[in-house]
Chain A
């Protein structure tokens, strides 16, 4: 109150009046809500949120400030930030600066003091929408003009954002301990925690630009390929799908997370679709069909793979049998895929967590096992081949 207002405008015309937060100005993006109660720093720096205005359902944000240990990438990616009660102070022994200052420094336009629950319910019922935040001089724009700006902005469907978030040139993260070989990570918006987990499993991690070609990949001669999470519509990522199909045809072990799961789905010949309001939270139950165990998992996805949840199916793209390995228990959405005749699997959710529970880190172990098994298998078969040749 009493301060200058800021406005959040949804494409359906709903307007929320709040207070400016972070940088002043205007921002346009897809409004989504995230239900995690902890880990705003990880959320803000998760490249998957590129192009999105994130609404935090947890009311108090910023309490623990910002530090240099927890970011998931080099910058904040959210297009805009909506919170109810920003913290006035920072209280944590690791904090180095406040979230406020960081948002301002990075030019992130936010809004505070609005009924985030009402907004969340709106997005839940009507589905995610394009939205805009207007503060500072932009707050004074006529409401009709603000709405027009929102309605003329780009939506998420059909949009590719990989180029915006990916590294420009390859980077290497050395293996922790003894290396089990080079891992090609296609950076579609990879998170630092993912790279750390992979390196800790003995991979020499080569983070490659999203524009990497199959030739460049062959040149690297990796033991396996990994597709990261990332923003955008998987239906608009044909080049990544084609690259993955080449990888699969060459029989390289593959693991994908989130966007990587959607791309594996497409590479195997399945479709993807947009969820009405997505899964963004760190409390989502997922069933691992192989073990019958329930994992509490971190989710951040607006799209999902369209594949039959029960039983095995033949890959429409000719990669043999495929099964849905993991299912979201809240809504029976495909949360993981496993190819049964080639060494490829993926999950829709985030085993690297950050933010979120650590229930699913076993998947990185599983990947390492698949790679080691595959290597042993190919060495064996190579030896057999040689013997046959003799």
Chain B
């Protein structure tokens, strides 16, 4: 049953912006799918609104549409491209939901397009709670007792039957959004109301609690001849109650007998068969009662998932790739196993190593958010590690998180046992370390199990790690045998240093002196039964290494580690492109990364892949292993974000050549004094600034500079702790709030900058080779300065900047590049206020906007940068045709406009009282992802970006306006236009007064009385009205003068009600323009067509 010959073109639906619960793993799966389909001679049409993805690179599809994933847009693409089939199973829940809409709206039928990968019926069976429950029971398996509720009252009734606590799961949501445990009636009512709102079908499932049971997942694949394989079993270390995306997980399952495992396998196979997934993969989740072994099926996803990406990396079995092949008709036995090449894919991988995945959280970004882990996913990234045993894999994974305190430690007294156990009883970020401390403090495995529900086997492994630590600590000498023993359990040089009171460097010297280094094993799908031809390696303190000698010229590329807010898929994009470009240029590329979601950790991407923590020790060992043969040309550190950059000095000190901008030059940009001198020499201006190490000096500096000021601690990432402060009391308050974090003090000064109110912010990405500057693109932010560039929408080309400004930006960038000594990429942020160009900061590395610029203007920046780093000149890259002759500083009048919009995760985060956290934008980055809208002018492009980000603006209804005094003047015009378009305008009293002067009919609405009881019979407050769904758009700019910004209630209610919220006036202006641009039917253009038009212009 080979490939179907009736499928000649396929529309692949991507997963859209990175959001919590749906991240880079779908770029990995979509990229694989596109590659596979094209290799099969199929014309690939791709739609994905996310420009940061590798899959949306024009090289990966025949027609790439960076367009909103909405039925209307997809229909336009179908009409234009006439695909034979739509493949929705590789783009997460977003793509699956789009497929459901395409089916239900009759679009597929109307255009004669077939759904492949999973049928509508299969998707429906797996997603519809009631159907799925019956199907599981029919398959002879068990489900938790449950009821479907469509109203809150119904739910309350069912709860009496099931008892508390119980689980609430809305239908058809992703990442467990809206689901959780209700412990009492009050929680139930709130959660059910939310859940009904989240669910597209307005239904929620109420379920008996299986809190504390063991949780497992199986990844299955099935072909159209009914051949089924289980690719991987995954066991959650955190028991049921924590979303699997937030759990520490391990593969393979470690605490099941064969009889129990085969029972899960049998159930899984019956389910995939009965649901009817017959050309692809699925994931089935189980709960097992540790006391009795009773098995419950939790859920099934009829598509590739986060877990399947993990399983692919864990086993070497590329699920998405195989799924794409199955979708076009192949059978499993007709597809070769990539790694052995001689055996078929119709087998089940077997592991001779252990894989541990740990989540990475960002609670510090959302002050007030409840950090308790629940069945709603909250992590923003993950790290995976491979070791020959669990203790090693766990310790490697924890250090891969790159977060202070994430690793086990033994410094000081552990604290009081009972207190630690009490803390560990609640699942939170870092609970595993609390458990380790509790065990250190004398808790028994039984006590720890009692508190956490973590299987005693996993707990004993922590006891083992503590015992090893004790031996290291108490030994007379750290002899080679003892050191090896510790290394066999994953201890880092840094941990050994802490235990022995030495430095990490001392430990490394001792270790190397005794010849103790790791060997590198291979992920081969078959536990060594067949030779592996794919060099996918991990380290182990074992006897035999499997690194094959090679005489090539080698370049090592450091990836960006676990995704986090501020450092995500954009950096992986650059790393992957560097790998491709350098491979084409004849280098052997060696990738080091520990993020299982990414394309960079696909063993197909680079010549060699090392799945290792991005810690100095681990990177040095890989480089040492590779340096045993061939020529190590150097290491690329400027593409992997702060993670890779942070290793530059350590590598340079170890004598490893760094390609591109030198570590010392990187420091020039980071160190304020040095950078000021560069600016002075170039005659450039920075906002007035100073530094302070305590509150008194900060106030003095701020008063001298003049308020408002932008404050930020040095040495932090992603705008951590960055705020705009308007007066001295607020500054004192700021110090109060950050005191616990110990981020300001001697050696760690607070940077105080004059904040440029109403300035326009500009971002530039450029390349510099030592002689020539090549501009990738110049972006104008929509939000005014003060909103973190990662959270701000921006437009490329700029729409309000004149040639003069562009020229000044260009020459300033060149001067900075020269001053720093950049070789490769440079990102500079400017602000223009009152005609003055200010330099805000410069980063000599790949920025978040590199992929956006590349997509918008068709300039392969990351590829070019990697070649510049490896010694090519910009001139030669232009001559070779890699770079267009005209750089990105000048964009022709008739070129399309691209708008990047940020996507924010506020809805995921609640306070302990269950309210959504504040959703105002600020200098600290909080967005998880981005979308791009591209069209012939700014309004249309902006409209598309809004549709892609959150479904777009309504074109009628009620607009509520409440703005800070400073914004009252600028709000008038946009509101007037909204009123003219037929919107009803509601406002608070102060705002309404201003609007009335312009004869804008306005209804005055009472503000929410925070903490006060509304008087009996009082008319509803704006919050009540938003909650009641009567408001369609909210415009609320915070005055920002108090720590707890005014309007908090209004904004959180808006986010909870899923309505558009604007917190800056610039956004409102753009939104109004976009409404006017959206009056015509949507048109779609592929990147390839834009490129053709660009070539025609040139």
Contact = CB atoms under 8 A, between A and B. Distances in A.
Interface stretch (B164-172, B252-260, B698-706, B744-752): B252-260
Given A329-B343, A356-B258, A59 B354 contact: yes
B912 to A, nearest CB: 34
Contact of B226 (A60, A283, A293, A356): A293
- Interface of A, secondary structure class, is loop
Given A117-B528, A329-B344, A330-B347, A38 B257 contact: yes
A36 B253 CA distance: 12
B348 interface: yes
Nearest to A1: B485
Interface string A32-43: 010111110110
A124 interface: yes
Contacts of B529: 33, 35, 120, 124, 277, 281, 330
B544 A70 contact: no
Contacts of A85: 388-390
B343 to A, nearest CB: 4
A355 interface: yes
B234 interface: no
Contacts of A284: 347
Interface stretch (B139-147, B421-429, B452-460, B1079-1087): B452-460
B521 A117 contact: yes
Interface residues of B, number: 61
B346 A118 contact: no
Which of the four size classes fits the interface of chain A?
A: 35 or more
Given A38-B256, A59-B388, A330-B530, A91 B262 contact: no
Nearest to B333: A294
Interface in A311-364: 329-331, 353-358
B332 interface: yes
Contacts of A88: 460, 464
Contacts of B482: 1-2
Contacts of B947: none
B730 interface: no
Contacts of A388: none
Interface string B214-246: 000000000001110110000000000000000
Contacts of A293: 225-227
Interface string B458-485: 0010001000000000000000011011
B457 A353 contact: no
Interface string B339-363: 0001110111111111000000000
A88 B389 CA distance: 13
A296 interface: yes
Interface stretch (B191-199, B200-208, B290-298, B1057-1065): B290-298
Contacts of B389: 59-60, 84-85
Interface in B442-459: 445, 455-457
Contacts of A116: 352
Nearest to B340: A330
Contacts of A357: 230, 262, 265, 348
A2 B486 CA distance: 12
Interface string A107-130: 000000011111011001000000
A59 B488 CA distance: 12
A85 B333 CA distance: 34
A118 B351 contact: no
A275 B331 CA distance: 28
Contacts of B544: 115, 117-118, 121
B455 A91 contact: yes
* B265, B331, B457, B464 interface centre (most CB from chain A within 10 Å): B457
B254 A69 contact: no
A329 B331 CA distance: 13
Contacts of A114: 543
B456 A91 contact: yes
A179 B491 CA distance: 61
Contacts of B291: 93
Contact of B542 (A36, A60, A115, A282): A115
Given A121-B544, A284-B347, A294-B333, A59 B457 contact: no
Contacts of B332: 294
A22 B1059 CA distance: 66
Contacts of A1: 481-482, 484-485
B527 interface: yes
Interface in A264-311: 277, 281-285, 287, 292-294, 296
Contact of B344 (A36, A38, A285): A285
B259 A70 contact: yes
A356 B258 CA distance: 7
A149 B26 CA distance: 57
B526 interface: yes
Interface in B373-388: 388
A91 B484 CA distance: 28
B965 interface: no
B255 A63 contact: yes
Contacts of B388: 59, 84-85, 117
B457 A91 contact: yes
A88 B348 CA distance: 28
B333 A64 contact: no
A94 interface: yes
Given A64-B255, A115-B542, A353 B484 contact: no
Nearest to B289: A93
A137 interface: no
A37 B355 CA distance: 13
B542 A281 contact: no
A124 B256 contact: no
B258 A354 contact: yes
Contacts of B348: 282-283, 296, 357
A102 to B, nearest CB: 14
Given A117-B521, A118-B542, A357-B265, A63 B346 contact: no
A35 B350 contact: yes
Given A1-B484, A59-B353, A38 B258 contact: yes
Nearest to B461: A88
A276 B928 CA distance: 53
Given A59-B354, A117-B388, A296 B347 contact: yes
Given A94-B293, A120-B528, A294-B227, A63 B543 contact: no
Contacts of A115: 542-544
A58 B261 contact: no
B258 A285 contact: no
A293 B225 CA distance: 7
B757 interface: no
A67 interface: yes
B1019 interface: no
Contact of B352 (A41, A58, A292): A58
Nearest to B345: A285
B671 interface: no
A292 B226 CA distance: 10
Nearest to A125: B531
A89 interface: yes
A106 interface: no
Nearest to B337: A330
Contacts of B229: 296
Contacts of A277: 529
A70 B484 contact: no
A162 interface: no
Interface of B: 225-227, 229-230, 252-262, 265-266, 290-293, 331-333, 342-344, 346-354, 388-390, 445, 455-457, 460, 464, 481-482, 484-485, 521, 526-531, 542-544, 546
17 contacts: A35-B350, A35-B352, A35-B529, A59-B388, A63-B457, A64-B257, A67-B257, A88-B460, A92-B260, A93-B291, A93-B293, A116-B352, A117-B528, A277-B529, A292-B225, A329-B333, A329-B346
Given A88-B464, A120-B529, 10 more contacts: A1-B482, A38-B253, A60-B389, A91-B456, A93-B290, A115-B543, A117-B544, A282-B350, A353-B262, A355-B258
* Nearest 4 pairs of A and B residues by beta carbon: A39-B258, A118-B544, A57-B527, A355-B258
